[in-house]
Amino acid sequence: MAKKQFKTESKRILDLMINSIYTHKEIFLRELISNASDALDKLAYKALTDDGVGLNRGDFRIDLAIDKDARTLTVSDNGIGMTAEELENNLGVIARSGSLQFKEQMAKEEGGGDTDIIGQFGVGFYSAFMVADQVTVISRAYGADGACRWQSSGADGYTIEPCERAAAGTDIILHIKPDGEEEQYSQYLDQNRIERLVKKYSDYIRYPIHMEMTRERMKEKPADAPEDYKSEWESYTEDTVLNSMVPLWQRPRKDVTQEEYDRFYEDKFGDFEAPLATITVDAEGTVSYKALLFIPGRTPYDFYTREYEKGLQLYSSGVLIMDKCPDLLPEHFRFVKGVVDTPDVSLNISRELLQHTRQLKVISTNLEKKIKVELVRLQKDEPEKYETFWKAFGRQLKYGVVSDYGVHKDMLLDLLMFPSSHSDKLTSLAQYQERMKEDQPFLYYAAGEDAGRLSKLPQAERILEKGYEILYLTEDVDEFCMQTIREFGGKELKSINDEDALPESEEEKKAAEEKSEENKAVLDFLKETLGDRIADARISRILKSHPVCMTADGPLSLEMEKYFKRTGESMAGMSARRVLELNADSEAFAALKRAVESDRELAKKYAELLYCQALLIADLPLEDPAAYTDLVCSLMK
Query: Residue 534, Cβ neighbours under 10 Å: how many?
Result: 18
Closest to ligand ADP by CB, 122 vs 296, is 122
Listed in order, strand segments (DSSP E) in 378-430 are 417-418, 427-428
Closest to ligand ADP by CB, 82 vs 426, is 82
Least CB distance from residue 82 to ligand ADP, whole Å?
5
Burial 139-148 (b: 16+ CB within 10 A, else e): bbbbebeebb
Label residue 543 left, alpha or beta by phi (over 0 means left) and psi (-120 to 50 means alpha): beta
Beta carbons of 102 and 91 less than 8 angstroms apart: no
Closest to ligand ADP by CB, 90 vs 346, is 90
Which member of 98, 122, 300, 458 binds ligand ADP (CB under 6 A)? Answer: 122
Which residues inside 438-457 make contact with ligand ADP, applying CB under 6 A?
none
Closest to ligand ADP by CB, 270 vs 458, is 270
Helix (H) or strand (E) run with residue 318 in it? none
What residues does 290 pair with on adjacent strands?
A: 282, 341
Q: Does 92 bind ligand ADP (CB under 6 A)?
A: no
Closest to ligand ADP by CB, 90 vs 403, is 90
3 state DSSP class of 141? coil
Which residues inside 135-174 make contact with ligand ADP, applying CB under 6 A?
170
Q: Does 79 bind ligand ADP (CB under 6 A)?
A: yes
Size of the site for ligand ADP (CB under 6 A): 15
Query: How far apart (Å, rounded) are the C-alpha atoms in residues 433 and 623?
Result: 40
Which member of 13, 43, 55, 80 binds ligand ADP (CB under 6 A)? Answer: 80
| Sign (positive or negative) of CA dihedral 191, 180, 21, 138 | negative
DSSP output for 23-46: S-TTHHHHHHHHHHHHHHHHHHHH
Q: Does 495 bind ligand ADP (CB under 6 A)?
A: no
What residues does 175 pair with on adjacent strands?
A: 72, 134
Q: Does 62 bind ligand ADP (CB under 6 A)?
A: no
Widest CA span of the chain, in angstroms?
132
Q: Does 125 bind ligand ADP (CB under 6 A)?
A: yes
Which member of 90, 348, 366, 484 binds ligand ADP (CB under 6 A)? Answer: 90
Alpha carbon dihedral 625, 626, 627, 630, in 10-degree steps, equals: 120
Q: Which residue is nearest to ligand ADP (CB)?
A: 124
Half-sphere exposure of 592 (CA within 13 A, CB side): 27
Closest to ligand ADP by CB, 39 vs 417, is 39
Q: Does 74 bind ligand ADP (CB under 6 A)?
A: no
Which letter does DSSP use for residue 301 in this model? T
Could you tell me which of 418, 441, 443, 446 has the C-alpha nearest to residue 549?
446
Q: Which stretch binds ligand ADP (CB under 6 A): 77-85, 437-445, 494-502, 571-579?
A: 77-85
Query: How far apart (Å, rounded) are the C-alpha atoms in residues 519 and 594?
Result: 11
Query: How far apart (Å, rounded) are the C-alpha atoms in residues 559 and 446?
Result: 10
Orientation of helix 383-412 relative to helix 476-485, angle to 10°: 40
Q: Which stretch binds ligand ADP (CB under 6 A): 118-126, 366-374, 561-569, 591-599?
A: 118-126
What residues does 135 pair with on adjacent strands?
A: 152, 174
Q: Does 124 bind ligand ADP (CB under 6 A)?
A: yes
Which residues inside 309-338 make contact with ligand ADP, applying CB under 6 A?
none
Q: According to DSSP H, which parts of 447-582 are helical? A: 451-454, 458-465, 476-485, 506-518, 520-530, 558-567
Which string of x and - marks every residue 511-550 that binds ligand ADP (by CB under 6 A)? ----------------------------------------
Least CB distance from residue 264 to ligand ADP, whole Å?
16
Q: Which stretch binds ligand ADP (CB under 6 A): 35-43, 65-73, 303-311, 491-499?
A: 35-43
Query: How far apart (Å, rounded) are the C-alpha atoms in residues 502 and 486?
Result: 17
Q: Which stretch binds ligand ADP (CB under 6 A): 12-20, 33-41, 112-120, 334-342?
A: 33-41
Least CB distance from residue 471 to ligand ADP, whole Å?
41
Least CB distance from residue 443 to ligand ADP, whole Å?
46
The CA–CA distances, whole Å, from 313 to 318, 329, 341 equal 11, 11, 8
Q: Which stretch binds ligand ADP (CB under 6 A): 120-128, 147-155, 484-492, 561-569?
A: 120-128
Q: Does 82 bind ligand ADP (CB under 6 A)?
A: yes
Q: Which stretch binds ligand ADP (CB under 6 A): 29-37, 259-267, 290-298, 333-341?
A: 29-37
DSSP output for 565-618: HHHT---TT-S-EEEEEE-TTSHHHHHHHHHHHH-HHHHHHHHHHHHHHHHHHT
Least CB distance from residue 86 to ligand ADP, whole Å?
7
Query: How far apart (Å, rounded) are the C-alpha atoms in residues 174 and 188?
Result: 10
Q: Does 275 bind ligand ADP (CB under 6 A)?
A: no
Which residues inside 168-187 make contact with ligand ADP, applying CB under 6 A?
170
Q: Does 39 bind ligand ADP (CB under 6 A)?
A: yes
Closest to ligand ADP by CB, 35 vs 99, is 35
Closest to ligand ADP by CB, 119 vs 400, is 119
Beta carbons of 607 and 530 less than 8 angstroms apart: yes
Q: Does 35 bind ligand ADP (CB under 6 A)?
A: yes
Least CB distance from residue 106 to ligand ADP, whole Å?
16
The contact set with ligand ADP (CB under 6 A) reads 31, 35-36, 39, 77, 79-82, 90, 122-125, 170
